[in-house]
Structure 1
Amino acid sequence: MFLPVSASIRQFARAVTADRMAGDELANAVMAEAARTGRAAGATRAELFREFILKWREIVASDAPPKPFSNVEYVKSLGPLPSQSRLVLLLSDICGLSQRDVEYVLAPLTKPYEELLAEGRSLVKAARGAHTALIVEDEPLIAADLKDVLENMGVKVVGQARTAEQGAREAVKKTPDVVLADYNLDGRKTGVDAVVAFHDDHDCPVIFITGYPDDVLKGDDVEPDFVIVKPYRPEAVQAAVAHCLDTMRFTTIDGELVNGDVQ
């Protein structure tokens, strides 16, 4: 089970830019261009991902000065794309694309697909230092499994919560580096409610684990960095967590915009 096409390109854009707002701006630009040319209705995920990559490469490589405040100027400020090994990891293990689709999206590859994927997955196994996580999940068995998945990659789980309210309190108290939250909590509130309650006091990457992919990543004000669809694969969770922990949030350093640089 996968995210809808529009949500998939939004998630990929957020991952590449390491920011929800920045990613949404670029995803919207890609979708708008596809709609303008009449290709949006039948476009596959791979086709939209390919268009995203080609447009980014074209803009970064161009010597022409961009118009002020334009999408072109914005993309130029982000700099080059992340490494192909990281992009292969995102497309394969999180977005769920096949080898054939990944090769199409990123062509030309700098190395064979298998080698790039192995390099990407080695990033997941890298030492995590003192990184911490909070789990917000009302199903004890799933919470326990997620805890094992995180601890197997060297991430310490500093708190577990079963409700949105408890999750918000734990996030502010424990200040985790990343939050994993179920979208549908106790049938009344969602992971969004938890994020809304704590994001002003503690800003960190958020990953939703959900069986309701159609309800998320619509471009609303408060949304996760990643959405992993149930039933999830441990590799997908670990790849999403690794990317969140290994990349800097979109920020300004000495007046220059910086995106997704691996720390």
Structure 2
Amino acid sequence: MSIAQMIRVHLPYLRRFARTLTGAQQTGDAYVATLLESLVSTPSDFPANMPPRMALYHMFLRVWNSVRLDGQGAEDGPNSLGAAQRRINSISSLPRQAFLLVAVEGFTSSETAGILEVGEPEVEKLLEIAGQEIAHQVATNVLIIEDELLIAMDLETIVTSLGHTVQDVATTKNEALAAVKRQMPGLILADVKLADGSSGLEAAKEIVAEREVPIIFITAYPEKVLTGERPEPTFLISKPFQRDTVMAIISQALFFDTKAHPRTAAA
């Protein structure tokens, strides 16, 4: 089986990881493209002693840690790698990588150790450091767009446990737009497909047309959202989700939000 055949199924999830790590769709995709170019030119570098998914993430992080890609255009804007880079000085790079590999991508500590080329005890230390640093993230008000009651309740519990406030739970696009008119949230958690046939993705487009706000999309079919067509989400959670995954993505989304610190100061 060729390398392309082995990694194809994992690429949408690697793109999600890259966007979460960099905080911008275009920058994350640029790093993935750099990795793929490297694989084409030197396929022998692909580790044969790892499962394909582990090997793919291992090689991606080698690119991330060794190649500096500056601003990739207008889309990266104020929430770009350039703006976020000033903020990540307070959160070490390696602990963030370990945290995302475990909490977001679902790798075990042992697999993460292999990807990062460190010992498993070191991974545990990195996760502890990341948890302590991410705990300093700002609190904000959150709008949940979700038509399934139990899922909405789970999200409310997670959001409030992190110290945030749930300002509204909307079940349709129109309810979401009305909630935003009453108060602009600091973060939005949005299902993509809503029961009345409306779209959380369309609601998000109208909301961000008025003002930038970090949005985390939630869907049972992430591969249908990560199509390469615009717009695509920077932050994406797959259903069914794990509590740790939601917590990690919320922290990352707020980490890259340029308005997060002023909101906290106001609170």
- Please tell me the TM-score bracket, short chain as reference: 0.7 to 0.9
| Equivalent position SS for 1:181 | strand
Counterpart Cα distance in 1 of 2:41 and 2:181: 44
| 100 and 109 in structure 1: CA distance in 2 versus 1, 3 angstrom threshold | closer
Structure 1 residues 31-87: Cα deviation after superposition (integer angstroms, max 9, x where no partner) = 3443555689x9833222222221233335xxxxx9xx9xxxxxx976999521111
Matched, 1:105 2:110: no
Equivalent position SS for 1:184: coil
Count of matched residue pairs? 235
Q: Could you tell me which residue of structure 1 aligns to residue 262 of structure 2?
A: none
Please list, as runs of the form range in 1=range in 2, the aligned pairs for 1:81-230 lying within 5 A after superposition: 82-108=92-118, 112-126=122-136, 128-129=138-139, 131-171=140-180, 173-186=182-195, 188-230=197-239
Give yes or no for the alignment of 1:29 onto 2:34. Answer: yes
Unaligned runs of 5+ in 2: 1-8, 73-80, 259-267
Name whichever structure is richer in helix by fraction. 2
Segment of structure 1 superposing worse, 157-166 or 30-39: 30-39
Between 30-39 and 225-234, the greater mean CA deviation after superposition: 30-39
Change in CA separation of 1:105 and 1:182 when aligned onto 2, cut-off 3 Å? same
Shift in Å, 1:127: 6.1
- Aligned pair partner of 1:10 in 8, 15, 24: 15
TM-score in terms of structure 2 length: 0.75
Distance 1:9 1:221, change over 3 A: same
Given that 1:127 and 1:154 are in contact with CA atoms closer than 8 Å, whether structure 2 keeps it comes out as no
Residue 20 and residue 165 in structure 1: after superposition, are their counterparts in 2 closer, same or farther (change >3 A)?
Answer: farther
The 2-side partners of 1:125 and 1:188 are apart by 37
Equivalent residue runs for 1:230-245 within 5 Å: 230-245=239-254
Counterpart CA distance in 2 for 1:205 and 1:219 is 20
The structural deviation recorded for 1:108 is: 4.2
Distance 1:89 1:171, change over 3 A: farther
- Tell me how far 1:168 sits from its aligned partner: 3.3
Q: Aligned partners of 1:119 and 1:49: how far apart in 2?
A: 21
